[in-house]
Structure 1
Amino acid sequence: MSNMLSPKDRIVFANPSERIKYNVRSSQAILQYGVGAMVDFPDQTLMTAAPEYWADKVVRIYDERLQHVLKVDYFGMPGGSDEPQFREGISYVRFPQWYFCPKCRRFQPIKQWYKEYKKKSAAKKLDSDPYMKTPRCLECRQDLVAARIVIVCAHGHIDDFPWIEWAHRRNAGGAKKVCDNPQLTFSTGTTATAGLEGISIKCTNCNAKATLYEAFDPTIFDRLDERDGTDTFVCSGNQPWKHHSVICGAHPRAMQRGASSVYFPKTVSSLVIPPYSDHLSSSIERSSGYSDCQIKIAGYKEEESSDDDINERIKRQLDKWASTIAAQILEPPAIIKPILERKLLLHSEEADPNYQTDSVKYRAEEFDALTGLVAKPSLDTDDFVREDMDIKKYEIPGLKSVSLIHKIREIRALTGFTRINPPGLSDTGKDTLGFVSVKEPETSWYPAYEVRGEGIFLEFNKKELDDWAAYRPVIQKRAREIEGNYFATLMGEVIPRKVSPQFVFLHTLAHVLIRQLSFECGYTVASLRERIYCASEEDGKEMAGIFIYTASGDSEGTLGGLVRQGKPDALPKVFKRAVLGSVICSNDPVCISTEQGQGRDALNLAACHACSLLPETSCEEFNVFLDRGMLIGTFDNNDIGFYSEWVANT
């Protein structure tokens, strides 16, 4: 990229040549502290830079299915300081740029503080720390404090609050022109109850002064420009994580730096399943010959204009590449070549535009692996180990099969983010206004991390679920209520979606099971995740299943506590406790009697934090499409739940 970060703007995580180190977990670097997010370190606030600015060496991880969907060659996982070849880690940029001294209250951009630092620091200090890694006021010998307010735009842009313009245009004695040499001070009220009116910005050069009253009004900047006939407060289009700006005509809004709506990461996850999880595939990916292949293909992409031309060049080299890799991993070239062909040949975008991680086809591949429909030799590998259980020993109504997944690997990739409004369902954000991709189009990888864990897969009898859904009109009515509320949302206008009683049942059941399993298996609720498989023949594949698995683990996986709860002597008890526990909520009768919807955008019925909701990391639907009524009925219709009769006879 052309606008590279300068050394004083670029902070490198765990760089051995620096004396300052910041530790961020791989999962945090992909989720809440991903590209474009601000990270509050003890001595300053930084923003994670785009992957183009990261060190060249990241740990490469692979998932062929997800690579196909996102059209990348691999995924890059931030390395740790215990891995010498990956110590460079992640790059950060200083943002916000405005800092104030808590003692003298001077308030100015970091570049002004840096000028003072260079002017007043001793030569020895400048030699050891030429870029003022820790912002500091040399006059007061105080660490500086970053501004807590920023402005964000619905198009994903972010910038410092317009402190100078605000102080002059909102001057208490009437609007003033910005003076030639503005010098600001930042003052807070003497009492904790003063609020925004107690925070004032003063220009000591011209005595302009304004409080932050109305600063958080979403329309204030628009109104100020309209009043004065200017465009002073129009969004600057600033993208500090890329170190450049774009043209934007929208008006931003002020937000607290730590507000949740400042940054919504868009992550996609995928299970690595057979045959992609076998030992041979992993060995090929780890070989140096495979890396060489990718480098050569990257060169082909620069020279050729079409995927067909690139594929022809790849095919001509396959025999040679297979022989090279075969010598490295000590396997016959004949079995390596078809795997290379599968991995390296480019897929045309027009081949299946609907092939996304939430598509029926994508989920059906996982469903077949979890139910054991994949060829037997592929079911016991390094990254996927499945055990089929005898369903007769469980005696749980509606349950068709139980599979214990002793080993599973999941890839979670960060594709982009939004500000102010949450992202849509599309993996690459094509359905979301203001979606910002974390990478440039020519970059061939996304930031990601992998989790190895374990899980329990429950398959349900689809016919029984269909018969139950058709049993009473009120069941369909409750599902239509949720569906109607969904279509009334901004996302519903863009992405049509059917909300069936079967899906709401499976989703709600997964939530109550996760809550109960956290008591039984030793994992916290936030350490467990769900994956719902629900579709009909009309969708292309008949599915009805729940996969509950660990959401955190190291390279060796987890300790088996979750799988243990899937055994015949444990799961029936856990299942019954979960269902019976959902009969009463501490917020009843309000919760169970809800008919108009509750929660975000009223997308839940009988479901709240007290009975059904999970941490955001655990639910793939962001805690919507839930209804206990589908499980155990309601006060008015206590027989409509799938397990109403089971509960009544218990």
Structure 2
Amino acid sequence: MTENTTSPDLHEDGNQPVSVGTKDLDPIADIEAKVTKNRSKVGSLRPSALLYTSGIGATVDLPHLSVMPHGLDGWQRYYDRRPGGADVIVEPRLLDLVRAYLGDQVDQLRKAPWAPEMPGGAGDDAVDLGIPARVFPQWLRCTGCNRVAPVNHQVFEFRNVLKYRPDQAQFVHENCKGWDADAKKSKSRKGRPQTAVPARYLIACINGHLDEFPYVAWVHRGQECPKARIPQLRMREWKSNIGPDVQIICLSCDARRGMLEATGPKASEKLPRCRGRHPHLDAFYKCDQPGKLMMLGAANQWFASTVGLLALPREESASADDVVPHLQALPPNIIAAATSRDSLQAFRLLAGNVAQTDIFDSISDDALWDALTVIKSGGSSGVQAPASTDPTDILLPEWLVLTDRVKYTKHSGAADFRAVRRNVPDTLQPIVTEVVAVEKLKKVNAFVGFTRIDALDRIDDSKSRVAPLNKRGRPNWVPATEDRGEGFFLQFDEEAVGEWEEKILGLPIWETFRQAHALNFNRRTSKTADTTIDPDSRFPAPRYWAIHTLSHLLIREAAMSSGYGSASLTERIYAWRRDGDRPAAAGLLITTTASDSEGTLGGLVDLSRPERLGPLVHEAIRRGGRCSSDPVCSHRRPQGKEDFLHGAACHFCLFVSETSCERTNRFLDRRLLLGLLVDKDVATPGLLTPIHGG
């Protein structure tokens, strides 16, 4: 069911920006015809923000308004206008992973249709469009008189007339006379324009739906206004002994109702049930969930569901099926250049430069020609079994490459990967067995959906809770990004880690952590989740806690000497016990990556040199041995009904930005790593005791 809307549309461009117009503004046709004075561009976002903080279905806060990026159906119109169409990212391993989530119909990973800045202001506004979006919420509040109305009631006027100042795009309440506009003394007062801002209240449900708050129905308690068909509303706020009190007032009939009723224990009885609205799709769906009050910009309004992995070099020569996805990403004129087998040499050079890959150099003429024949006939590579979505299975190929010197040395000439072995500092032996400087790496990330109210970060929840990216719910492509950068990898001695781990598994403190995790898991699992999941299957082994703790210490220490802020450093932890044919792993990779660039500056790789790595690790260990909140921090453990998932860890000693930590600062304990001097009931052997002498 399509929504009848008068919302402004908005488009994201450039680095990466956004654009907007009212119902009278078609950001393509009307700009070409020059029938509107309003510009379409209203702001900008970085590519990574489209995946993690401000993507499809999220609200993006701009200086004067809030917008929501449209679903994929709205993007295609802008791809079609771009010369060469969409920019495609070719990474078969990630594409297989996305298909495991969304279905085999997904055949492409696409970069966002960003709008480049033209030198000297040249260019066509209609071509230089980015991500389409809409103003949301559409209910606005005047900052002068507190009038509340939707954008289609003609109370507010949209202004965006300065080409180079999209940040000044705003809705304005013309001739506003202030909050006491109805008083006698204000009759002769000269009005002036006042900025209108988004009204703050929304209605959400656990199925990912989001809707405007029903202000008119709320203030009239579900009835129609007796005095006006379209009543005038005002939002008043003042302080009370229980905090800010907000009231909605009908100026037409003087009905009043406070918003505190929408937050109390009986709020579910007073709020409307969900209408199944997906504003990013301009559509409504069937839904039987109760509506929940949500504040605009609340942390639980939008949780991205993304998948990402490192682009690894191939271990063998490419086959025809391997190269088909790369050929599909090439412009048609490049494919047309391969007219015969004799033209393949020139085709390899041309295609390699366009696709920025060396895969065409590692395939035989026969296999390449077979792949070209498939593409020209409109076919595609064969459908394989769905990829595993288990996080360990995703990390395993990376672990096998980084721990095999023959593999990473053989492929260090690849366009997106270069790694060299470093000598292990004497002071880190025997615990650390290998050090690898990853001088060049590429991380590819894809967006597969989002949820609201609670996230799917640790549970296999119902797929119905993941909001669709297009109206059909089965997209043929998904947004993706490429990040290039550098890092260093440490591998730990498996025998030493295994012996230490067996000691930890029998301690009472480990059982305390296990029980806290089970309690936390069951509390955070939503009603639609798979309740048959064993919490212990999601509980990381002791080695993960210790290596994860060291990773945080290294991130905090490396930020002081690498030239990168701690928030720009990220971790990948390879720590799991042997399970059937899956080998055990104990290692960590610290990386920094940047989008829209060819890479980073080498400051992190330089830390992998033996003369720098040894002091770096030991200084990190020294700092981790003490915390300004000790002894409280060093003795911390969950007790009773507490379910926090860390031991001796806090903001002073271990926590890092959530952009850096893969587990949002969970599963950390300095005791497991360093063996702190604490009471016997919480004391544990430290994994790194052999090298720091604790």
- Fold in common (TM above 0.5): yes
Gaps of 5+ in 1: 126-131, 170-174, 226-232, 297-316
* Alignment partners' CA distance in 2, 1:212 and 1:258: 17
Secondary structure of the corresponding residue to residue 488 of structure 2: strand
Q: Does 2:620 correspond to 1:573?
A: no
Give identity over the alignment, percent.
26
- Residues 97 and 184 from structure 1, CA distance in 2 versus in 1: closer, same or farther, beyond 3 angstroms? same
> Using a 3 Å threshold, how does the CA distance of structure 1 residues 176 and 334 change in structure 2: closer, same or farther?
closer
Distance 1:414 1:598 in 2: 39
| Aligned-residue offset at 1:339 | 7.7
Shift of 1:537: 3.0
Could you say what secondary structure the match of 1:258 adopts?
A: coil
Q: Which range is displaced more, 15-24 or 319-328?
A: 319-328
> Relative to structure 2, which stretch is displaced further, 585-594 or 317-326?
317-326
Q: Which residue of 2 aligns with 1:507?
A: 548
SS in 1 for 2:281: coil
2:636 and 2:265 mapped to 1: Cα distance? Answer: 32
Compute the displacement of 1:63 (Å): 1.4
Corresponding residue for 1:480?
Answer: 514
Q: Distance in 2 between matches of 1:294 and 1:194?
A: 67
1:591-634 Cα offsets, whole Å, 9 max, x none, are: 22122169994111221222111211111112211111111124
Q: Does 1:148 align with 2:164?
A: no
**By how many angstroms is 1:117 displaced?**
5.3
2:296: which partner in 1? 257
1:585 Cα offset (Å): 1.5
Alignment partner of 1:200 out of 220, 237, 247 = 247
The superposition leaves residues 148-190 of structure 1 with CA deviations (integer Å, 9 ceiling, x where unpaired) of: 1111111111111111111111xxxxx8654452423323335
Quote the residue 1:542 is aligned against.
Answer: 584
Contact between 2:540 and 2:576, CA under 8 Å: does it hold in 1? no
Structure 2 contact 234–250 (Cα < 8 Å) conserved: no
Q: What amino acid does structure 2 have at the position aligned with 1:238?
A: R
Equivalent residue, structure 1, for 2:117:
82
Offset at residue 443 of structure 1 (A):
2.2
Q: What's the counterpart of residue 188 of structure 1?
A: 236
CA contact (8 A) 2:556 2:566 kept: yes
Bigger shift: residues 402-411 or 509-518: 509-518
Determine if the alignment matches structure 1 residue 640 to structure 2 residue 690: no
Partner of 1:28: 49
- What letter is aligned with 1:147? A
Indicate whether 1:211 and 2:277 are aligned: no
TM-score in terms of structure 1 length: 0.82
Between 79-88 and 22-31, the greater mean CA deviation after superposition:
79-88
**Matching of residue 347 in structure 1 with residue 383 in structure 2:** yes
* 1:578-589 equivalent positions in 2, closer than 5 A: 578-589=620-631
Q: 1:338 and 1:27 mapped to 2: Cα distance?
A: 36
Change in Cα spacing, 1:352 to 1:502, as seen in structure 2 (3 Å) is same
Deviation at 1:243, TM superposition (A): 0.4
Counterpart residue identity of residue 92, structure 1: A
Output the CA distance in 2 between the equivalents of 1:97 and 1:151.
Answer: 13
Q: 1:172 — aligned with what?
A: none
* TM-score w.r.t. length of structure 2: 0.77
Counterparts of 1:5 and 1:408, CA distance in 2: 46
Partner of 2:185: none
Instruction: Name the structure 2 match of 1:129.
Output: none
**1:419: which partner in 2?**
452
Contact kept? 1:399, 1:459, Cα under 8 Å: yes
For 2:467, the equivalent position in structure 1 comes to 436
Q: Distance in 2 between matches of 1:160 and 1:626?
A: 40
CA shift digits 1:469-497 (9 cap, x unpaired) = 11353274365345434543434956432
Paired residue total: 596
Are the equivalent residues in 1 in contact too, given 2:430–2:493 (CA < 8 A)?
no
- Tell me the CA shift for residue 87 of structure 1: 3.0
**Residue in structure 2 matching 1:624, options 663, 666, 674:** 666
Instruction: Give the counterpart of 1:239 among 278, 281, 292.
Output: 278
Quote how far apart the aligned CAs of 1:52 are. 1.9
The 1:522/1:601 distance shift into structure 2, 3 A limit, reads: farther
Correspondence for 1:366: 398
Contact 1:196 1:212 in 2 (8 A): no
Match of 2:69 among 26, 38, 48: 48
2:481 corresponds to which residue? 449
Pairing of 1:57-456 with structure 2 (within 5 A): 57-71=85-99, 72-78=106-112, 79-82=114-117, 87-113=128-154, 134-140=170-176, 141-169=193-221, 177-179=224-226, 181-191=229-239, 195-197=243-245, 199-217=246-264, 219-220=266-267, 222-224=268-270, 233-275=272-314, 290-292=330-332, 325-326=347-348, 328-329=350-351, 333-334=365-366, 336=368, 344-348=380-384, 351-352=385-386, 355-356=388-389, 358-360=391-393, 362-371=394-403, 372-374=405-407, 376-391=409-424, 393=426, 395-425=428-458, 431=462, 434-439=465-470, 440-456=472-488
In the TM superposition, 1:554-569 aligns within 5 A as 554-569=596-611
Which SS does the other structure have where 1:248 is aligned? coil
Deviations 1:492-535, CA, capped at 9 Å, x for gaps: 95643242111111111111111111112121111011111123
CA contact 1:514–1:548 (8 Å) conserved in 2 = yes
Question: In the alignment, is residue 490 of structure 1 matched against residue 511 of structure 2?
Answer: no
Letter in 2 for 1:636: D
CA distance 1:481–1:513, change in 2 (3 Å): farther
Q: Which is worse superposed, 546-555 or 455-464? A: 546-555
- Comparing 210-219 with 498-507, greater Cα deviation is found at 210-219
Aligned equivalents of 1:223 and 1:163: distance in 2? 16
d(CA) in 2 for partners of 1:202, 1:563: 61
Distance 1:157 1:319, change over 3 A: farther
Answer whether contact 1:269 1:357 (CA < 8 A) is retained. no
What amino acid does structure 1 have at the position aligned with 2:10?
I
Tell me, in whole angstroms, the C-alpha distance in 2 between the residues paired with 1:373 and 1:47. Answer: 48
Partner of 1:463: 495
Q: Note closer, same or farther for the CA distance 1:581–1:396 as it changes in structure 2 (3 Å cut).
A: farther
Residue type of the alignment partner of 2:646: N
| 1:215 Cα deviation after fit | 2.2
SS in 1 for 2:561: helix
CA contact (8 A) 1:599 1:624 kept: no
1:134-159 CA deviation, whole Å, 9 max, x = no partner?
42223332222210111111111111
Instruction: Please identify, of 68-77 and 500-509, the stretch whose mean Cα deviation from structure 2 is larger.
Output: 68-77
Shift of 1:431: 4.6
- Does the aligned pair in 2 maintain the 1:64–1:276 contact within 8 Å? no
For 1:305-332, what per-residue CA distance to the aligned partner results, in whole angstroms no more than 9, with x for missing partners? xxxxxxxxxxxx9999989954843866
Which has the higher mean CA deviation after the structures are superposed, 59-68 or 556-565? 59-68
The one-character-per-residue Cα deviations of 1:246-285 (angstroms, maximum 9, x if unpaired) are 1212211112101111111112111001129999999997
Query: Which residue does 2:570 correspond to in 1?
Result: 529
Residue 292 of structure 1 and its aligned partner are, at CA, apart by 4.6
AA paired with 2:229? N
* 1:12 aligns to 2:11 (yes or no): yes
Shift of 1:58: 4.0
Q: For residue 190 of structure 2, what is the aligned residue in structure 1? A: none
RMSD: 3.9
Q: SS state of the match for residue 210, structure 1?
A: strand
Whether the 8 Å contact between 1:479 and 1:500 is mirrored in structure 2 is no
